Amino acid sequence: MPSVVIGLDGAAWQLLDPLIDDGIMPRLAALRARGASGTLSSTVPPVTPPAWTSSFTGVNPGRHGIYGFHRGNAQSERQEMMHSGQVKAPTVWEIANAQGATMGVYNLPLTYPPRELDGWMVSGMMTPGIGQHLSGFVFPEALEQQVLSWVPDYVVEIKANQEQDWRDEALAERALASLHQRRTVLQRLLEERPCDLLFAVLETPDRLQHLYYRYMDPEEELYHSSAGARIRPSINRCFQVMDEIVGLLDDYAGPGGGVIVCSDHGFTAWEASVHTNALLESWGYLTLKRGARAVRNPVVAKAALAARRFLPVKVRRRARQQTFAAIDWSRTKAFASVYYQQGVFVNLAGRERFGTVAPSDLDTVKEEIAARFTSLRGPDGELVTDRVWRSQEVFHGDALEGAPDLVVEVNDSRWQLDDEIFHPHPFTEFLELPRGGHHPDGIVVIAGPGVPPGHTVAGTIMDVTPTLLYLSGLRVPEGLDGSVIQGAFDDDHTRDHPVESIPPLSSAPRDESSPYSEAEEKVIEDTLRGLGYI
């Protein structure tokens, strides 16, 4: 019988539980009732590209090499957009194929360009184009025209505008239309090209929660607002169709098959931005050029932010370069990572283009800045930092290029670090907006042979690949960072069906050259910007 992973991007129990209680997601409720469920911890930081890549490789970012949507930082001459050719670790479909099993991969981020495999693949987030302008997103190539004949205006990514879309139901309506497309394509694919394993992702929860979070969480004041009451029915319709897709895939696995429902990270309300570069400057680790210091004020900060969001892509890139040109790199020891990495780079000599910190001083500078964050107090005078991760605590392997030196968790992830420059104060609050941001605690449900109902389990995003392989009766490569989720299977089952291993696989050859044209990069960057990632 088939085994299936159903990825619900950004899904969080505090949002799903009320939907289940209200009868909006009966298929997910039934899966959880007959299986084991609990929390799935994300990568550090909890970001879509490294997290989903860890899910389908079973290893940490230090081994697969994906740290975000781009490679590079504020000193890079060009920040290269990430793609499937840059994934350095073997994938679950390569592992399954090596054992004679076929696999379907649907809408999984960082799978563009789609890989050759024994089965099929429809690429997900980071795929350029839409409808008639969409091409090269399906393997085998002959299947692409079938997909487009089923859904001629097929949409890979839902367009969002963080500045506007929280005001009405339009985003939810676009999301609903895309979910109907997803259901059609998945149903046809599974009818016409059945496979032994399936990994399918629905990105919709993440997109809705970025814009509507406080309208969705009953614990938030805006949940009870008139806007929340008006928009929530459209949001709930999206989750109803998501639940129908969960049911479709559960039915495909059948009574004897295995099902994993998981998210790459959880979600929470976004209360404030922490302007990391402003903090580093106040602590003496970053220096602005004299002219830049003279013009820094709230008006300039607002104008710089507007430039990054609304100007044409070429102008915006130039403005960004000029913004970071305001830093006096010769007198700077550290600077903020891009927003989605939630961290700090040390300006390390020999690694950074304008590096000043000797390698022998790297650990000292990291510890000093970590201590500063640990003692950081918010506007109310209370300590706000939950944890500062050193790179060596969370990243290990042969693919460390691009990893920030520090990753910071602030106020239970309700405050998000950014990389803006022109801010006279370290914090900006967004309490009046319904926006949400990523949280490390995702979800997991496991159902199938040997899984006793009602068990509570906990795992990490790296556990998805070994657990899927075990559910499918396949062997697990030695040396993965993840493992079969403990407690999901009863003792009799694990005694009769012990986890069997195989030697580590070598990665298939990858084409690391960029598959994107400048126009395609613009399309993807506009999508990321609409969600607040850049």
pLDDT tens by residue, 144-170? 999 999 999 999 998 898 889 999 999
Local confidence band at 424 (pLDDT 50, 70, 90 cut-offs)? confident
Q: What CA–CA distances, in Å, run from 186 to 56, 151, 183, 196? A: 19, 11, 5, 15
Looking at the structure, tell me whether residues 341 and 208 fall in a common domain.
no
- Hey, what are 304's tokens? 């710089």
Please write down the HEC assignment for all residues of 468-487.
HHHHCCCCEECCCCCCCCCC
Residue 302 has phi, psi (to 5 degrees) of: -65, -40
Which of 371, 402, 429 corresponds to the end of one domain? 429
Please answer whether residues 90 and 469 qualify as being in contact, where contact means their C-beta atoms are separated by less than 8 angstroms.
no
How many domains are contained in the chain? 2
Give the pLDDT confidence of 364-378 residue by residue, as tens digits: 999 999 999 999 999
Question: Cis omega (within 30 of 0) on the bond before 18?
Answer: no
Q: What is the mean pLDDT of residues 379-401?
A: 95
Q: What is the predicted pLDDT for the residue at 530?
A: 85
pLDDT band at 313 (very low <50, low <70, confident <90, very high): very low
What are the tens digits of pLDDT across the range 41-62?
A: 999 999 999 999 999 999 999 9
Sign of the Cα pseudo-torsion (487, 490, 494, 495, in order): positive
Residues 359 and 485 in one domain: no
For residues 130 and 343, the model is more confident at: 343
3-state secondary structure 430-452: CCCCCCEEEECEEEEEEECCCCC
- Supply the pTM of this predicted model: 0.94
Q: How far apart are the C-alpha atoms of 113 and 443, rounded to whole Å?
A: 28
pLDDT value of position 298: 54
Same domain assignment for residues 286 and 413 = yes
Q: Is 299 exposed, middle or buried (0-12, 13-18, 19+ CB in 10 A)?
A: exposed
Contact call for residues 190 and 117 (beta carbons, < 8 A): no
* 254 and 313 co-located in one domain: no
> What pLDDT, on a 0 to 100 scale, did the predictor assign at position 294?
52
Can you give the pLDDT at residue 509? 82
Where do the H-state alpha helices sit in 8-65?
13-21, 26-34, 48-57, 61-64
Q: What are the distances in angstroms from CA 522 to CA 40, 139, 256, 438, 529?
A: 33, 24, 45, 24, 10
- Residue 525 tokens read as 């960057």
Whether the predicted pLDDT of 311 surpasses 70: no
Q: What is the pLDDT of residues 25-42, one digit of tens each?
A: 999 999 999 999 999 999
Contact in structure between 406 and 365 (CB atoms under 8 Å)? no
Residue 513 burial (10 A CB sphere; 0-12, 13-18, 19+): exposed
The 3 state secondary structure assigned to 117-178 is: CCEEEEECCCCCCCHHHCCCCEECHHHHHHHHHHCCCCCCCCCCCCCCHHHCCHHHHHHHHH
pLDDT of residue 301: 52
Whether the per-residue pLDDT at 296 is higher than 50: the answer is yes
Q: For residue range 431-447, what is the model confidence (pLDDT) as tens digits? A: 899 999 999 999 999 99
Read off the pLDDT band of 319 (50, 70, 90). very low
In a shared domain, residues 138 and 22 = yes
Closest to 49 measured CA to CA, from 115, 110, 114, 90:
110
Check if the beta carbon of residue 91 is closer than 8 Å to that of residue 110. no
Torsion sign across C-alpha atoms 338, 340, 345, 351: negative
Structural domain ending residue among the three candidates 359, 394, 429: 429
For range 108-133, the mean pLDDT: 89
Strand 501-502 and strand 36-41: the pairing is unpaired
Q: pLDDT tens for residues 409-423?
A: 999 999 999 999 888
Per-residue pLDDT reduced to its tens digit, 445-468: 999 999 999 999 999 999 999 999
Exposed, middle or buried: residue 361 (CB in 10 Å: 0-12, 13-18, 19+)?
middle
Domain that holds residue 126: 3-269+437-530
The structure tokens listed for 407 are: 């990753």
| pLDDT tops 70 at residue 315 | no
Q: pLDDT confidence of 518, banded at 50, 70, 90?
A: confident
The CATH number of residue 442's host domain is 3.40.720.10
How many beta carbons lie within 10 A of that of residue 316, not counting itself? 19
Q: Does a cis peptide bond (omega within 30 degrees of 0) precede residue 45?
A: yes
Do 38 and 153 reside in the same domain of the chain?
yes
Query: What percent of the chain stands above pLDDT 90?
Result: 82
279 and 187 within one domain: no
Q: What is the pLDDT of residue 80?
A: 87
Instruction: Return contacts of 312-315, CB within 8 angstroms, 24+ apart.
Output: 313/521, 313/522, 313/525, 313/526
Average pLDDT, the chain: 92
Query: What is the average per-residue pLDDT within 220-236?
Result: 97
Instruction: Answer yes or no: is pLDDT of 179 > 70.
Output: yes
298 and 247 belong to one structural domain: no
Count of residues making up the chain: 534
Six-digit token string for 299: 């008006």
Q: What backbone phi and psi angles, to 5 degrees, belong to 508?
A: -70, 155
Residue 518, number of CB atoms within 10 A of its CB: 8
pLDDT reported for residue 527: 86
- Greatest alpha-carbon pair distance for the chain in Å reads 72
Assess whether 398 and 342 both reside in one domain.
yes
Residues 519 and 453 in one domain: yes
Amino acid code (one letter) for 302: K
Residue 206, pLDDT above cutoff 60:
yes
Q: In the numeric block, which tokens belong to residue 434?
A: 């319904």
Residue 189 has pLDDT above 60, yes or no: yes
Domain edge (last residue) among 399, 429, 459: 429
Q: Is 200 helix (H, G, I), strand (E, B) or coil?
A: strand
The pLDDT, as a whole number, for residue 306 is: 53
Residues 6+ apart with CB under 8 A from 118: 97, 101, 102, 103
Let me know whether 295 and 413 are in one domain: yes
User: So what's the pLDDT on residue 483?
Assistant: 98
Report whether 378 contacts 411 (CB < 8 A).
Answer: yes
Per-residue pLDDT at 225: 96
Both 291 and 316 in one domain: the answer is yes
pLDDT for the residue numbered 133: 72
pLDDT for 69-118, tens place per residue?
998 899 987 788 999 999 999 999 999 999 999 999 999 999 999 999 99
